[in-house]
Amino acid sequence: FCGPPRTIPHASLSLNKQYYVGQVLHFKCQSGYDKRSPISGTRTCKKVNGKIIWTHLDMQCTNDSS
């Protein structure tokens, strides 16, 4: 099992108690925080070289007008 993934500011995620290897989590920016692409993404629980990790998610949620 994977532990809980690191959260992303202003992104929503429905949290479970346990995450299994191969599970994919879908993140989406909260309303008003989607000015910077990408506005959604996924993380996958994987076993790499005997370690269980979450894949990297390059996603930023911001309400900046720039």
What is the end-to-end Cα distance of the chain in Å, rounded? Answer: 40
Q: With cut-offs at 50, 70 and 90, classify the pLDDT of residue 14.
A: low
Residue extents of the structural domains in the chain: 11-54
Task: Pick 65 or 13 by higher pLDDT.
Answer: 13
Task: Pick 47 or 7 by higher pLDDT.
Answer: 47
- Contacts for 53 with CB less than 8 Å, ≥ 6 apart: 2, 45, 46, 47
Percentage of the chain modeled with pLDDT above 70: 89
Token match 């309303």: residue?
Answer: 31
> Is the model's pLDDT at 45 over the cut of 90?
yes
